A = this chain, B = another copy of it.
């Protein structure tokens, strides 16, 4: 993805984390920088652990064929950035670090999740390398997506008159895209005029704007349990209390939702109604209606995150009722985007809301990022208007269904049970029968990045579940690796879970 990819690749394939690197004078990156980046990566993904002793400056210089000055400068920078510490007369050691420690609220309540693991996983996700297997990824692999489609649309956009880019643009986003989104939403029976739609820097910004508008410190926000982990960090940083509503096969546990709503009086309930992350289940009509009734009774806003919308195969294959069409964007705020189906780095997401909410959220957007760049929005607009999007998502759905079926059978064979059943979507929420945090550490040693269940738990409880991306499991080495490591962890892993829960 960037020039660092090569470096990380080398870092990853080295069995000994302190062993020599293949430094290059051709990359345009200084040797100092290359050393810093490699050591940083090794520490961040825990192949170099706190307390480990680094090679001496002389050793490092000789092993890598660089001057000692280069190593001194790199070690100095690593000390400055808190990765290493220098112990007088003894050398350099990997430091104990908790990078997000001081971003926590000053008086964290005991039920606030720690964000360390979330950030740790996210950082690892961003450090994906071509050689790495990433069944934990939240995106489809490059060879499933269509870089030609993106490239053609971008070239068409780049031939347009570019004076439109010179000024700020409109805070609500590129109008022709919002008009296309109006049509797209109309197909879902969601009626939203362009002024009710605001483009955002991915769904991440959409959630952030909504959370900042509705949540005050101390407020409660409901999420699915399990749910997309990034939200937990985002809401916690606002001082909000994050409470999980157990997610069943056809939607939330309604009795729990009613009970917890009465108890906590939440401001928001963020839910994936369709192809829920991580279980890929979808909401039944009855539950959609009941959620809305409970939301009315306890006066909270339902934030319907529909990022997986275009991977849904239709209601003849899996039921799915969205909440927004029932409510007419009154107390529902609907979020969507194109990171899963087109290209995540275009960073195009959107919010559809009532006129009043849309106006407030557009003001929030101005104060956060002023406007969003129209480049990505124009690329998405081009693809939507030229009719290529529908064919592209048709192909994705067909391919996903086939991969899903194949992977499900393979998982059964190695004794991993899907915790929820779904015929569609990117993810299988599989029960590995052992502490998947430990499993994730083991797999990483084999260059395989998993997404352990504890990440998806709003209270970060240990878990035996894993989120597996079916499109990432084509590498035939992954499932045997999981089988082997699960069996090794076996009893120990189960004991760990029991011990952590404090129950037999």
**A-side interface size class:** 35 or more
Interface string of A276-302 (1 = CB under 8 A from B): 000000000000000000000000000
How far does the alpha carbon of A46 sit from the alpha carbon of B168 in the complex, in Å? Answer: 22
Interface-lining segment among A211-219, A316-324, A392-400, A438-446: A211-219
A113-160 contacts to B (CB < 8 Å)? 119, 122, 125-126, 128, 139, 142, 145, 147-148, 150-151, 154-155, 157-159
Given A3-B175, A372-B347, are A36 and B193 neighbors across the interface (CB < 8 Å)?
Answer: yes
Kindly provide the distance from the CB of A208 to the nearest chain B CB, expressed in whole angstroms: 5
Q: Is the CB of B147 within 8 A of A158?
A: no
Interface string of A103-116 (1 = CB under 8 A from B): 10010000000000
Of B2, B82, B371, which contacts A170 at CB under 8 A?
B2
Q: Is the CB of B374 within 8 A of A345?
A: yes
Which residues from B are CB-within-8-Å of A170? 1-2, 4, 126
Interface-lining segment among A361-369, A408-416, A492-500: A361-369
Q: Is the CB of A77 within 8 A of B193?
A: yes
Kindly provide the distance from the CB of A373 to the nearest chain B CB, expressed in whole angstroms: 4
Q: Does A471 contact B (CB under 8 A)?
A: no
Q: Does A24 contact B (CB under 8 A)?
A: no
The residue of chain B having its C-beta at the shortest distance from the C-beta of A119 within the complex is B363
Q: Is the CB of A359 within 8 A of B99?
A: yes
How far does the alpha carbon of A51 sit from the alpha carbon of B150 in the complex, in Å? Answer: 49
Q: Is the CB of B166 within 8 A of A343?
A: yes
Interface-lining segment among A11-19, A229-237, A460-468: A229-237
Copies assembled: 2
Kindly provide the distance from the CB of A268 to the nearest chain B CB, expressed in whole angstroms: 15
Q: Is the CB of A81 within 8 A of B162?
A: no
Q: Is the CB of A347 within 8 A of B363?
A: no
Q: Is the CB of B355 within 8 A of A81?
A: yes
Which residues from B are CB-within-8-Å of A158? 151, 154-155, 157-158
Interface string of A341-384 (1 = CB under 8 A from B): 00111110000001110011001101111111111100000000
Of B202, B213, B343, which contacts A103 at CB under 8 A?
B213
Q: Does A50 contact B (CB under 8 A)?
A: no
Q: Does A28 contact B (CB under 8 A)?
A: yes
Q: Does A204 contact B (CB under 8 A)?
A: yes
Q: Is the CB of A122 within 8 A of B366?
A: yes
Q: Does A263 contact B (CB under 8 A)?
A: no
Of B82, B167, B202, B217, which contacts A370 at CB under 8 A?
B202
How far does the alpha carbon of A128 sit from the alpha carbon of B166 in the complex, in Å? Answer: 13
Kindly provide the distance from the CB of A84 to the nearest chain B CB, expressed in whole angstroms: 12
Given A162-B154, A179-B29, are A369 and B366 neighbors across the interface (CB < 8 Å)?
Answer: no
The residue in A3, A100, A204 that gathers the most chain B C-beta atoms within 10 A of its C-beta is A204
Kindly provide the distance from the CB of A5 to the nearest chain B CB, expressed in whole angstroms: 10
Q: Is the CB of A369 within 8 A of B205?
A: yes
Q: Does A163 contact B (CB under 8 A)?
A: yes
How far does the alpha carbon of A425 sit from the alpha carbon of B100 in the complex, in Å? Answer: 40
How far does the alpha carbon of A212 sit from the alpha carbon of B103 in the complex, in Å? Answer: 10
Q: Does A176 contact B (CB under 8 A)?
A: yes
A165-221 contacts to B (CB < 8 Å)? 165-171, 174-176, 179, 193-195, 201-202, 204-205, 208, 212-213, 216-217
27 contacts between A and B (CB under 8 A): A1-B164, A1-B167, A1-B169, A1-B170, A2-B170, A36-B195, A77-B193, A99-B360, A126-B168, A139-B168, A142-B163, A142-B167, A147-B163, A147-B166, A148-B162, A150-B162, A151-B158, A151-B162, A165-B344, A167-B344, A168-B339, A201-B373, A205-B368, A205-B369, A230-B366, A237-B367, A347-B373
Q: A4-B170, A4-B175, A82-B356 are in contact. List 11 more A-B contacts (CB 8 A).
A: A81-B356, A82-B355, A150-B165, A154-B165, A162-B343, A164-B345, A204-B370, A212-B237, A230-B367, A346-B375, A369-B369
Please list the residues of chain A having a beta carbon within 8 angstroms of any beta carbon in chain B.
1-4, 28-29, 33, 36-37, 40, 77, 80-82, 99-100, 102-103, 106, 119, 122, 125-126, 128, 139, 142, 145, 147-148, 150-151, 154-155, 157-159, 161-171, 174-176, 179, 193-195, 201-202, 204-205, 208, 212-213, 216-217, 230, 233-234, 237, 339, 343-347, 354-356, 359-360, 363-364, 366-376
Q: Which 5 A-B pairs have the closest CB atoms?
A: A81-B355, A151-B162, A158-B158, A201-B369, A147-B163
